[in-house]
Amino acid sequence: MTTSWTVTRLLRDREAALCLTGVVVSGFGSSALWLVSGVWVKDLTGSDGLAALCTAALWTPTVLGPALGTLADRVRRRPLLVRLNLALAVLLLPLCAVGSPGSVPLLFTVLVLYGAAGVVADAAGSALVAAAVDPALLGDFNGLRTAAREGMKLVAPLTGAALYTAYGGPSVALLDAGTFVLAAGVCALLRVREERPRPVRGSRRRETAEGVRLVWGHPVLRPLVCAGGATMCLASLGSSLNYAVVDGLGRAPAWTGVMYAAQGAGSVVAGLLSGPALRRLGERRFAAYGIALTGVATAARALPYDAVVLVCGAAAGLGLPCVLVAAGTAVQREIPAAALGRASATADTLMFTPNVLGLALGAALVELVDHRLLLPVLGGALLATAAALGQRRAARTAARSASDANPA
């Protein structure tokens, strides 16, 4: 009842509904390209490692998140999002020339630039949402945005795989470009009151350092983003094994689309439940439970059964977004609006840069170690991460209780 009421309230708000529409439209094309890029490279080169590196290329620019996020604090966020979406549409057009192993470097170059623009867009979008949505409903909105974005895995990967099979990779690139044009139009319709950014004082390096300090020095944010970074590193190591898991099931590489669809279904449920769960459990406990569920799902994927792999995909989709929603909502609530772009990007860097390292390491390990041995190890490490986050919360609660019992 509470969930349906908050969802209805958010969707009745014009600006919130437009923000979600933009996420759905652009997320559809992005999800399709994300899957197809790996399959594309696998078909052109026959390499599981190079196929896994496609996702690493998309995430690599998060390393520069604090610096890129500074751009979102220097201009109004709505016009910036319009321009970025149009630029992404143009960026994808050179992929129409990819059709041989020799053109694979062009694909990787576009993916890296695509990821860099996405870092700025995410920072600007997070700051814009904080200005447009009731602070009490930020958790609900972020959960619903996660459901909308990740829910595209229910249809976009399957659509992209079908389009790729029928017409090849360039057709999927053109589809993604079209969704960014539509997203730019949606952003142009937003009516969010934005104050003129303050004049820049000092160097960009100083602004970037301020964003890092605001997140890393915060007693609430640092444990969450550190747990998020560890979780994303371990989960990405597991996702690097996807093509090996599919091979072990005796399936074609395009069957990864079915796995991503199962994960998307779990993420839709996680997004719908995030707001009420955050209010009931608090940010740390909500994040810890999600990490633990992801750990169990990761370990169980070692079992060579189609049904088990799909159930594990859904469970990982349910658990993995929890720490990301918890950390992102905490940043929006705790950081001043003027610095929210760079702070959001800093938090993303701390959580997603380990994702890049995990993907790169996984791309190497998949060629050397049996995935059936690696997956249980990764699952155990995720469970340890969840336990550590829960223990920190318990220790902080105990210290607070002792302080209350013995006032100075």
Task: State pLDDT tens for residues 70-84.
Answer: 888 888 888 899 999
Residue 388 vs residues 125, 222, 230, 299: alpha-carbon distances, Å: 31, 13, 11, 19
| pLDDT score at 326 | 93
Give me the number of domains the chain comprises. Answer: 1
pLDDT computed for residue 381 by the predictor: 93
pLDDT of residue 403: 40
Q: How far is it, in rounded angstroms, from Cα 375 to Cα 368?
A: 14
Measured distance CA(113)–CA(60) in Å, rounded: 10
For residue range 223-269, list pLDDT tens digits in order.
999 999 999 999 988 887 887 888 878 887 777 778 877 888 888 88
User: What is the distance between the alpha carbons of residues 318 and 34, in angstroms, rounded to a whole number?
Assistant: 20
Is 3 part of any domain? no
Nearest CA to 354 out of 262, 270, 239 is that of 239
C-alpha pair distances (Å), 190 with each of 15, 119, 176, 178, 370 = 6, 21, 22, 20, 50
Q: What does the pLDDT read at residue 401?
A: 42
The pair of structure tokens assigned to 29 is 């094309």
Structure tokens belonging to residue 196:
């003129």
pLDDT greater at residue 407 or residue 137: 137
Distance from C-alpha of 185 to C-alpha of 82, rounded to nearest angstrom: 7
Whether 404 is in a domain gets the answer no
Instruction: Determine contact, residues 19/125, Cβ cutoff 8 Å.
Output: yes
Tokens representing 121 are: 């867009």
pLDDT at 297 over 90: yes
Residue-level pLDDT at 4: 59
CB atoms within 10 A of CB 64: 17
Residue 13 lies in a domain: yes
Instruction: Tell me the per-residue pLDDT of 148-201, one tens digit each, with 9 for 90 and over.
Output: 777 676 777 778 888 988 988 899 999 999 999 999 999 888 887 777 766 656
Q: Indicate whether 270 belongs to any domain.
A: yes
pLDDT of 335 higher than 50: yes
Within-domain flag for 199: no
Per DSSP, 202 falls in state S
Examine residue 106 and state whether it is found in any structural domain, yes or no.
yes
Contact predicate 278/227, CB 8 Å: no
- 219-225: long-range contacts, CB 8 A cutoff, minimum separation 24: 220/283, 220/330, 220/334, 221/327, 221/330, 221/331, 221/334, 221/347, 223/284, 223/389, 223/392, 224/283, 224/284, 224/287, 224/323, 224/326, 224/327, 224/330, 224/389, 225/327, 225/347, 225/350, 225/351
User: Hey, how many other C-beta atoms are within 10 angstroms of the C-beta on 50?
Assistant: 17
Q: How far apart are CA 405 and CA 408, in angstroms?
A: 10
* C-beta neighbour count of 269 within 10 angstroms: 16
Residue with tokens 């380990």: 354
Is 378 a domain residue? Answer: yes
Q: Using one digit for the tens of pLDDT, what is the confidence trace for 279-296? A: 888 889 999 999 999 999
Phi and psi based region of residue 196 (left: phi greater than 0; alpha: psi -120 to 50; beta: remaining): beta
Average pLDDT of the segment spanning 356-367 = 77
Alpha-carbon span 121 to 22, nearest angstrom: 12
| C-alpha distance from residue 139 to each of 122, 211, 276 (Å) | 16, 22, 8
Decide if pLDDT at 363 tops 90: no
Q: Answer whether residue 196 is part of any domain.
A: no
- CATH number of the domain where residue 268 is located: 1.20.1250.20
The mean pLDDT of the chain is: 83
Instruction: Name the pLDDT band for 405 (thresholds 50, 70, 90).
Output: very low
State which residues form the domain around 307. Answer: 8-191+205-399
